[in-house]
Amino acid sequence: MNRTKPVAGPIGRAPVTWLALSLLLLPLMITSESLWLDEGDTVMYALQPDFHSWQQYLSHDLAADCQMPLSMFFAWVAGQTLGTHEWQLRVINVLWGALALFAFHRAGKWLGLPWLPLLLAAQPYFWFYTNEARPYALQIACGAWLFAGFAEFIALKGTGELWAWVFAAAAFFLCLTTMLAPLPILVVVVTGGIIAGLRRWKVSRKAIMILLGGAIANIPIAIYYFSTLARGAKGAQLWRVDLKFFGYVIYELTGLTGLGLPIEKIRELAKSPHLFTALNEHVFQFALPAIGFLLLLLVLAGGLRRRDGSSVAGLTAGIAGILSANSLVFVVVAICLQKAFWARHFAPVFPFYVALLALAIQGLCESNNRFAKLIPGLLIALLLFSSLNLRFAARYRKEDYKSAAQIAQRALDGKKSVWWVAGLLPARYYHLDCTLSHPETGKAFCPQSSEIQNLPAPDVIILSKPDIFDEPGSIQDLIRQNHYHPAETLKSFVIWTK
């Protein structure tokens, strides 16, 4: 039986058809729906009128966005050149998606996996972050080129230097994109070094010098990141890190988000004091994600077990080691420091996960078992269905800050008092004038829980994500005590009126 095996060089061209099909999917991923909470952070950079203003905002920002400077710079560039409508802020991700697909096209030629770009383009995780005005599409692209350099290094058994240039460049741009970049970069370098040492590969001195030069180039970036930590910049802590949290991360990473309950509903269930009762009420809505997860396990377990001994030496074990080491560090740090590493923080190593899945799929397709060959097709179909759901199904849309701000403005225009218990930055983007210190006529007031006992109850309360914006529950107590009723429900919002 003829088998498709990874090759030790780009023998022949991987059919461009696979790449072209993947690229055609990219424009479908972008929407003009409302910005959600986190995108409000990005848009503040995009709205800066000039580079000096952008630089000043970066140097004073205390949120984690200042620790992703390259992405914030490109957000500003997109705002200046394309505009600041919702789709214009997101469309730059088409470029990053294309770069990721080209990296997988290159890696696919080395590994005998010409359809590798299409597998990446089918991933719900890839669709979700391509349609988000955040840094993660760029991080995926940098991670894809890290993988391309690693794959070429393995395929060439450490010879040559081009792989070192590819890897060093990808690492440099990844460091500019996220403060967390040193972890995946170091893990990949160590893994490659272990493989080369065990197999006695001779890596050229020039390649080593290229990698060292890349490391030295990142020193100024490291100094900048230390300065952000010194001034107190950090991300928000919104969830206790426990087994439920890790389950949530796996749920998103593996692409199950478009098969069951929307993400915000899962957040509610995870924070419920009666978790198993809540899950039992939604058991049928977890049936399809459970099937998808089972198919994924079958593909990974069955496919990797069948990997041919003639495969590129060390590739499968190397990728598995990279993913395991990166995940282990995140888990240990998350538990010890109660620092939540969400699925989005895995963006730089997500391409390695997709590559491992591709190797498993190839392993099953080489099987003599006809049933085994059907499983990858079912999994890919389910992943694509999940992706399309995330893009087109109404229940998976982003938080509706746009409609909530419009409702607040209409109430203010009607001389009503409004409390805005939600994100401030998206409200500003949608031209809702807010006040923080005290209620003012014609402005929405953003109350602090400790202040509300001494304030008259407003006509309208616009409440989003009580676990974030009303953690003590004082706003919800006021709603109950003053007999408010829900006048309207939007995605992640309830509009309460007397």
Range 403-412 average pLDDT: 97
Chain centroid to CA 72 = 15
pLDDT digits over 396-407, tens only? Answer: 999 999 999 999
How far lies 384's CA from each of 30, 241, 387, 390, in Å? 16, 30, 5, 10
Residue bearing tokens 């001389």 = 415
| Per-residue pLDDT, 169 | 97
pLDDT digits over 232-283, tens only? Answer: 988 766 667 777 788 888 999 999 999 998 888 887 777 766 777 777 777 8
421: nearest Cα among 456, 455, 454, 467:
467
114: nearest Cα among 7, 15, 195, 194:
15
Q: How many Cβ atoms from other residues are within 10 Å of residue 204's Cβ?
A: 13
In sequence order, what are the residues at sequence separation of 6 or more whose Cβ sits closer than 8 angstroms to the Cβ of residue 477?
none
| Per-residue pLDDT, 342 | 86
**Cα(498)–Cα(494) distance, integer angstroms:** 13
103 has a pLDDT exceeding 70: yes
4 has a pLDDT exceeding 50: no
- Dihedrals φ, ψ of 416, to 5°? -95, 155
pLDDT grade for 2, boundaries at 50, 70 and 90: very low
293 has a pLDDT exceeding 50: yes
Both tokens of 363, joined, read 């392993």
**Sheet order of strands, 485-490 included:** 434-435, 444-445, 418-421, 460-464, 493-497, 485-490
Mean pLDDT for all residues in the chain: 91
pLDDT digits over 454-491, tens only? Answer: 899 999 999 999 988 998 889 999 999 999 999 999 99
Q: Which residue has the higher pLDDT, 366 or 496?
A: 496
Range 438-447 average pLDDT: 93
Both tokens of 196, joined, read 């080369």
Q: Which of 13-22, 181-190, 426-435 has the lowest mean pLDDT?
A: 13-22
Name the region of 388 (left: φ>0; alpha: ψ -120 to 50; beta: rest).
alpha
pLDDT digits over 324-379, tens only? Answer: 999 999 999 888 887 878 889 999 999 999 999 999 999 898 888 888 889 999 99
| Per-residue pLDDT, 369 | 82
**Cα(126)–Cα(58) distance, integer angstroms:** 27
Please report, as a single letter, which amino acid is at residue 67: Q
pLDDT digits over 306-322, tens only? Answer: 765 445 668 999 999 99
76 has a pLDDT exceeding 60: yes
Range 156-160 average pLDDT: 93
Q: Which residue has the higher pLDDT, 289 or 373?
A: 289
Pair 241, 256: CB distance under 8 Å: no
Cβ-based burial of 306 (10 A; exposed 0-12, middle 13-18, buried ≥19): middle
Q: How many Cβ atoms from other residues are within 10 Å of residue 93's Cβ?
A: 27
Pair 87, 132: CB distance under 8 Å: no
Q: Is the pTM of this model over 0.75?
A: yes
| Per-residue pLDDT, 8 | 42
Range 161-174 average pLDDT: 97
Range 384-405 average pLDDT: 95
| Per-residue pLDDT, 277 | 76
| Per-residue pLDDT, 1 | 38
Q: What whole-number percentage of the chain has pLDDT above 90?
A: 76
**Cα(331)–Cα(346) distance, integer angstroms:** 12
- Domain ranges in the chain are 16-396, 401-497
| Per-residue pLDDT, 40 | 95
